[in-house]
Amino acid sequence: MRPISLASCTCKILEKLLCNRLNWYGDVDEVLWTFKGLPQGSVLSPLLYAIYVKSLNSLDMTNCEILQYADDVAILSSSDSIQIGLDDLKSALEQIDRFLNCIGLELSPSKTKLCVFSYGLKETHNLGIAFKDHFIPNESTIKYFRYHTKKYFRTIKCLKYTWWGADPRVLLNLYIALIMSRLEYGGFLFHNLSKSSSLKLMRLQYKALRFVLGLRNSTPTNVILAEAKEPPLNLRRDYICRNFLTKVLSCENHPLIHKIEAIIDLEDDPIVVNRFMNIPLIDNFRVVQKYSHIISKHSIPLGYSFHFNSLLFIPNVLKALAILEALHFVSQKEIKQVSIFSDSKSVLESLMKSNILGKSSVLIVAIKDLVRRLESLGYEIKLIWIPAHKGIKGNEMADKKAKEAIRL
């Protein structure tokens, strides 16, 4: 922890958590002291692991690339010859194994898998997705989803009865957690699904929703989706993909950006013949890229771009916040005492929340961060809420100017 300049008090807390911990075993009247390891399912596990093996990316491996996600490590090698690629992977694996042994870790052979992607080879299954000839086969994908959702259909069926069954809202939450999550998994990579294959997947969604809501088999699909308030699978996949790409574009040095741009250059090259259908990941990137100029960009993830206290900071209602640009104006002009009138109650309610685990706009966190810094410098910021469209002269003038600015 010392090499990454972690505060000594934080190091002490982690030391106590790891090296001096009590374990209770259910109803058994026995307490044991543990001097190593983290509690099962601790949120610190992936973070501490990433810090512990942070030197892994600095290994010099020829013709290979390392990708890490929590404690999962992928080694990639590309070559015109399968044998040369395998030799490069073997050399990189041996180097990683030596590195892990030096820090007291070891690879798990049972969890290590080799995947070869080349024309003419059999299907390769990795992380629940079947690959073949650089794309995902139709029938294998459909069979996988049908097999893994069948048992969850039985689970919901056990909870659904006329007189003593669970409420439809509870069943709908189970559907989202158990079935919908499987149908969405890897969805924006399905670039070769035919209309019949896509229809089979959508029928799984319709069947589950019809079962959960207790609707007839003859109920139209648009009514099913409307009653469940769920979008079709294709729209849901585009939504998830665009959310993911927005996060990617918010990180300036994200490696995926250059890879996608290279694929787009190949697609736009009139000489190169595209033998596959359009890839949803690439198509959605083209859409999101049009709005990249309004996406806040940082060299590190947005969650770490602001002071930690800003995430928990709650201003008093009498010292509330206005929009971010107004606060920047106050900061630039050094106006120590300022009252900002606003009719946006939803923004104020968002600013009053301190739940950092919820989905919060980056603008809300930025406003909190700026107000916290201004108040620490002696600024006095007050917000006076006023109702909209009530004939208040100043508010009506502001609305008029805003509408005029939109037309420019």
Asked whether residue 26 carries a pLDDT value surpassing 60, the answer given is no
Q: Please compute the mean of the pLDDT values over residues 82-104 and round it to a whole number.
A: 87
Q: Is 400 a domain residue? A: yes
Please write the tens of the pLDDT for every residue from 188-228: 777 667 778 788 888 888 988 988 888 888 899 999 999 99
What is the extent of the structural domain holding 347? 316-406
How far apart (Å, rounded) are the C-alpha atoms in residues 31 and 299? 46
Per the model's pLDDT, the better-predicted residue between 66 and 401 turns out to be 66
Q: Indicate whether 387 and 324 sit together in one domain.
A: yes
**Greater pLDDT, 180 or 164:** 180
Q: What percent of the chain has pLDDT over 70?
A: 77
Question: Do 340 and 386 reside in the same domain of the chain?
Answer: yes
**Region 1-11: what's the mean pLDDT?**
67
Q: Does 46 reside within a domain?
A: no
Neighbours of 66 (CB within 10 A): 15
Same domain for 71 and 132, yes or no, is yes
Q: Is residue 144 part of a domain?
A: no
Both 343 and 392 in one domain: the answer is: yes
Q: Are residues 222 and 200 in the same domain?
A: yes
Q: Average the pLDDT over 402-407 and give the result.
A: 70
Q: What is the pLDDT of residue 128?
A: 66
Do 189 and 136 meet the contact criterion of CB atoms below 8 Å apart?
A: yes
Same domain, yes or no: 321 and 402: yes
Q: Cβ(306)–Cβ(369) under 8 Å?
A: yes
For residue 142, give the H/E element and its range. helix 138-159
Domain harbouring 94, CATH code: 3.30.70
CB 179, CB 152: distance < 8 Å: yes
Pairing status of strand 337-342 against strand 380-385: parallel
Dihedral sign, Cα of residue 78, residue 84, residue 90, residue 96: negative
pLDDT at residue 225, as a whole number:
92
Q: Which of 230, 252, 269 is the last residue of a domain?
A: 230
Q: Which of 303, 331, 351 is the last residue of a domain?
A: 303
Examine residue 308 and state whether it is found in any structural domain, yes or no.
Answer: no
Which of 330, 343, 347 has its CA nearest to residue 394?
343
In a domain, 19, yes or no: yes
Give the residue, 368 or 322, on which the prediction is more confident: 368
- Max mean pLDDT among 87-91, 126-130, 140-144, 403-407 falls in 87-91
Same domain, 154 and 175: yes
Torsion over CA: 212, 214, 217, 222 (sign)? negative
CA dist 34 and 287 (Å) reads 52
How crowded is residue 25: how many other Cβ atoms within 10 Å of its Cβ?
9
Question: Is 373 in the same domain as 392?
Answer: yes
Assigned domain for 309 exists: no
Indicate whether 63 belongs to any domain: yes
Q: Regarding predicted confidence, which is higher, 56 or 222? A: 222
Q: Residue 341 belongs to a domain with what CATH number?
A: 3.30.420.10
Domains in the chain: how many in total? 5
> Does 189 lie in the same domain as 107?
no
Instruction: Let me know whether 56 and 125 are in one domain.
Output: yes
Question: Tens digits of per-residue pLDDT, 286-301?
Answer: 999 888 888 877 777 6
In a domain, 311, yes or no: no
